Each structure stands twice: as structure tokens, then as C-alpha cells.
Structure 1
């Protein structure tokens, strides 16, 4: 579903966080998860000892053939929303939509085993779940987490600052590669690289970012890099300059894009953000055109997009690359007049 469609559907349905004593981050600015305060003394004054919980849920359709890998990807994808808010995931519930008339139950068990093992890697306990008979297979998690430390500030789309740099912790192209995988068009190396990226937890990236003083973060998933960046810019009343040739790209993604394996959701993402784009490259610059489409690609279990000071951005990049992340500094944030908020310059 396109972001614009989702906003229209949710308008007037979900309660706003503004004015609430317990909802610290709600749905207004398209943050990755909700952050709520759990009063230890209901009806009493807010206390620094009140736990702050992070709540999210996500399900996806299969993007790879191996059931265990699909379960691990779905788990990593759902857990990421908690890290993107600066929290620590603690518990999860399985959410399975399974076509038991088409597939043996062994497949469902293998998917759940993959999710279980990935949650164990993250220190998260799966404490239950819900299964629905469905014509199409989907799987994911509902995740509850908590903020690290009693006084730690959560990240939100409102907390990016002018002058900060943008660091992306993973390569782009999982939507394109997922389409190619389904068609049987990827090499073994391309499939392995995409799977490794999608099953990599964003746990370390979030820890490094917090240690280095990041003020805002979002994970790059279904709305693509451009869609999630626009949410960040709108929340913080900023504009951005994106350096297309710095974007980290998963092996084979550009080649499959050229071959026409660009999913419809990614095309819809680009159409949705087009009014916000200022293209600073020549119309004949084919590489920049391809990278723009890559930046709109709908990601599954993508990386974190982190905003922090220039010096600390360099340190974060060093830490990420030192731990095997395909990371890059991809742009910078600038102040904006009201008519410039959300604008993304592409060069």
C-alpha cells in the first residue's frame, strides 16, 4: 500500500499522541513504532521510573524459497522497528497466515524455527502467537520492546537536526532482487548476498548509533529509502541532499533493475515522492536515473538510516564497515523554509 493511501485510511482512525500523557510517539508522523509510557502509579504524576515500551508489528510475504531463511528475514524485519526507535526488543508473538490446503504444515514449522533462531540471536523470547488459514502465505511478528535506560531518549522522526549527515547501514535492492529470486533469475551469489543482508539484525547498528549520539533514526523498509527519508524530513521540518553515487547497492540489484525486475510497489514509491524530488543531474545521466529508482525500491529488512553529527557519522561508518555492514554516508540535512520541508535534492 502506498504511503499516501495509508495516511488517508488511518486519518481519524488512530488516536493522536499529542496531548496524551502515555502515548509518547503515535502514528502522526509515520514513525517506525509506537512509544508509550506505562504508569507505575495510574493517575499519578509522570515518573522517570515509569517504563517506556516500544510496540510494533509487521508481516511479509516470502521473498526467498528456503522456509527457515524466510522466517529469519521476517523476524529481523519486525524486530528492526524497535531498534529504529532506539529501544531494545524483548518479547514477540508469531503472526502466521498459512495456506494449509496448499502447503504441508512442516513448512510452517520450519518458518517458525527460522524466526525462533533469529529472535534468540537478538535476545528476544517468542511467547505465543496467532495462526490464520489463508490463501497466501505471510509471516511476521508483533514485538514489544523497551527503551534502554530510564532516561534514554527515544528516536523519532521529529529529532533530526540541520547540519547532520545521513548514514545508511545496509545495501539497497532487496525489492528488485526479491522479484528476481521469485522468477529464478538470480545467481547463487546474488541470492546469498541478499539473504545475508536481510537476515542481518540491526541490533549492532542501533547500538553504535546510540553510543555516538544519533538523534534520529528510521529503518528503510516498504516505502523505500526516499519514502522513509521524506517522513524524517517532514517530522523534523528539514530538507536533504542525497548523494546518489554513494548509495550502497546489493550485488546484482542494478543489473536486475535494468532487466525490468522492478516491483510495482517500488514504482508506486517513486510516484509518491516525486513531488518532493529535485533532480540535480542531467536527463541523460542514466546511472543517476537508475540509482533514483533504486532509492525508491521497497525494501524488506533494510538498514537503518541514521542522522548524527559529521564527526560521529564518520565514526559510525567505520564501526559499521568494521563489523561487515555494507554502509555509507549518503547525504546531509539542511534547514528548510515552510515550502522546502520534505524536499530531497538528488545529485
Structure 2
């Protein structure tokens, strides 16, 4: 696995303040409201009737797409969460990379960012907040954009994220609704960040155990998106707080609606790239609450091989932060896509399964 080396970061200021993750009830994207609760809350919310809205909330896609001209559309997203690591600079980098990922997942190009911060100033002061902002600015500079403004509030729990606007040719949008039976599924980053960060937060592993995960979480999905669009991908999504099963399930349901027929998937557990030590931590009971909620939601639509025990099933539902792209591509294009991903140095370029016809929308068969 090739992982980009993170740039040098400023030395932390000495402080007696608590660890960032000590103030966070949930870490990173594991703080998301569960899919079950979210669907209940959104039930009955009107679907946009404005013809300029090409992608809205109804397909649970990664970002909204608003048409401006026949050759230009805006891609808009927002992503905010509590700390997943203790280093403020890394927290800012991860949060920014995660927010930008939604733009890349649609095949768009980032244009501008605004920041949102909720910060316990009395507890943490402003020095650590400045380092969060510095980390986010470094990632945005890497993406070729600026953080041009933002909003801040006082809160007992630190939170940070970005509102990001991008651009795209509306004829080239890669949504989560285009997968069709026969397409091959390719994943561009390993999974397991939720379990790893939980192990470190509970003092079951040293912070250095996060090195590979931090390198992955701060690697922009830009190169993966470029390879995806070059290959002419049928559909894509990024893997974040709902886990691999949850985001794949959204893709399958959206694609089933668009195609007018039930679409499912077949995954190979052995083919899914995973960070080291993750399965062992799961066996020891080190599992985020968000991951457990994800599996509870996904299980009725999943058909697991009998040999896959609960730790393996939980891993496929692990709440990821700043995960990779899950790309559905026609079988005749997959070799070129994988070769291009490897040439561009994405953290992974793994063929993990395929899209299949199903007896009901969203069914996922998981083989060993």
C-alpha cells in the first residue's frame, strides 16, 4: 500500500490543556446521526423542484449539484465533526481533507471553502485553534483553494469543518445513482480508521499506531477522482461515517431507483484493504458506537458468509473519517482504472466486488 507522506507540521505549544479527544464524545465521522434516525428525520422533506438542482438530498449523495449553465454547475457540501486525533494541526488537516472529499466524489473541482468552528476557548485557549486552522489551510492550499471566511461559536466540545464549493460540467457529474449490474467496485483507501482511533482514545494502543491512518486521512481524493473521471466511472461515493456497507447501500438504492430495477452488490471480504491491527482491536471489543449502529442498520440488507464473525462484519461497517472513493466502473475499464490509481499513488486500488441484479434493492452479499 502506498500512502502519501504528510508534510512537516508546526511543533505544538506546551499546554496543560486536556487532549482534544477527551472533550469529544464521538470521534470524527463516527459522530454522524445514524442512518435510521436520519432517514426518519428527513422523511417527508420536500424534494427540490427547482430544475437547476441536478443532485439533491433525495439520493443521499455526497454533495448537491446546482446547474448554472449548460457547461457549468456548482458542487456544494458541508462537513463538520469533533476531533478524531489529539494533535490540532492533524485534526485540521483531516477535517479539511474529509470535507473536500465530497467534491471529488462527484467528479468536481474545489473552488472555495468557508470554515466553521465550535471551540471551548476557556478550556483549550486559542493557540490550539490556530493550529487547527493552519492544518486546514495547508490542505486547502494543496487542493488549490483558499479558506476565504467562516463562522465560529463557543462550545464545550470542539468541532471543526468546512463548507466547500466546487465546479463541474453538469454533463460529467459522477453521482451515486449510476451503478448497473456488471460494474466492478474499486476502493481507493483502506478501512479501519474508526477502530484505530477508538483504540488510541481508550489507551489500548500508542498514538504511533495511527501513523498510517493519519497519512491516509490527510491524502486528498483528488488523484482518485482524476483517475475515476478519466476512466468514465458509472457511479461513485466516498466512504465516511456510515461505513463501507452504509455508503454502498446508499449507492445501490439510488441506482435501483434510477434504473427502475433492484440492484445489489457482491463483496469479497478478503479483497477489502484494511489497516494493520484493526481486526485484533475489534476482537478485543474496541469498537466505536457509530460502527455498531452502522452494522445494525446494514445487517438486514447484508448476507454474510457464515465464516465471517462479528469482528469482520463490524469492520465492513466501521465509521470511517476521510475515507477513500468507492467507484463503480464497467468491467472493460477496470484494469485501466486500477493501473491509473496505482500510477497516481492512491493509498489503495483494490477491486473488492461487483454490482449485481438483486431480488430487492440494496442487498449486499459478502463472501469470505
Which residue in the other structure is 1:293 paired with? Answer: 314
1:178 is aligned, of 197, 200, 210, to: 197
Q: Choose which of 125, 131, 139 in structure 2 pairs with 1:110.
A: 131
1:116-137 deviation line (CA, Å, top 9, x unaligned): 0000001121110001100000
Q: CA deviation at 1:303?
A: 0.5
| Equivalence map 1:217-228=2 (5 Å) | 217-228=236-247
Task: Indicate which of 32, 35, 53 corresponds to 1:3.
Answer: 35
Query: Which residue number in structure 1 is paired with residue 61 of structure 2?
Result: 31
1:329 alignment partner in structure 2: 351
Partner SS for 1:24 = strand
Displacement of 1:313 in angstroms is 1.9
Taking the aligned partners of 1:53 and 1:28, their CA distance within structure 2 comes to 18
2:82 maps to what in 1?
Answer: 61
Structure 1 counterpart SS, 2:298: helix
Which whole-Å CA distance do the structure 1 matches of 2:205 and 2:275 have between them? Answer: 12
Is the contact made by 1:75 and 1:118 (CA closer than 8 Å) also made in structure 2? yes
- Structure 1 match to 2:5: none
Change in CA separation of 1:61 and 1:151 when aligned onto 2, cut-off 3 Å: closer
Query: Which whole-Å CA distance do the structure 1 matches of 2:248 and 2:332 have between them?
Result: 21
Matches of 2:208 and 2:120, distance apart in 1 = 30
Computed over aligned residues only, the root mean square deviation of the Cα atoms, in angstroms, reads 1.5
Secondary structure in 2 matching 1:158: coil
1:302 is paired with a residue whose SS is coil
1:263 has 2:288 as partner: yes
CA–CA separation in structure 2 for the residues paired with 1:129 and 1:118:
16
Q: CA deviation at 1:188?
A: 5.0
Moved more, 4-13 or 183-192: 183-192
Q: Secondary structure at the match of 1:83?
A: helix
> How far is the alpha carbon of 1:289 from its aligned partner?
4.0
What residue in structure 2 maps to residue 52 of structure 1? 73
Task: State the distance in 2 between where 1:53 and 1:208 align.
Answer: 21
Q: Does 1:236 align with 2:258?
A: no
* Equivalences for residues 183-262 of structure 1 within 5 A: 183-237=202-256, 238-262=263-287
SS in 2 for 1:68: helix
| Equivalent residues of 1:245, 1:291 under 8 A apart | no
Residue aligning to 1:164: 183
Question: What SS does the corresponding residue of 2:57 show, helix, strand or coil?
Answer: coil
1:73 aligned residue: 94
- Equivalent of residue 52 in structure 2, options 22, 41, 46: 22
1:315 CA drift (Å): 2.3
The structure-2 alpha-carbon separation of the partners of 1:192 and 1:124, relative to structure 1 and needing over 3 Å to count, comes to same
- Residue aligned with 2:251, SS: helix
Provide the rounded CA distance (Å) in 2 between the counterparts of 1:104 and 1:85.
Answer: 37
Cα shift readout 1:255-287 (whole Å, capped 9, x = no counterpart): 2112211111100000001110112x22xx25x
In structure 2, the residue matched to 1:345 is 365
Q: Deviations over 1:90-133 (max 9, x none)?
A: 10001101001110100000000000000000112111000110
TM-score (norm 2): 0.86
Helix, strand or coil: the match of 1:101?
A: helix
Tell me the TM-score normalised to structure 1 length.
0.91
The equivalent of 2:4 in structure 1 is none
Q: How far does the alpha carbon of each residue in 1:186-213 deviate from its partner, in whole angstroms, 9 at most, with x for none?
A: 3454211110010010000010010011
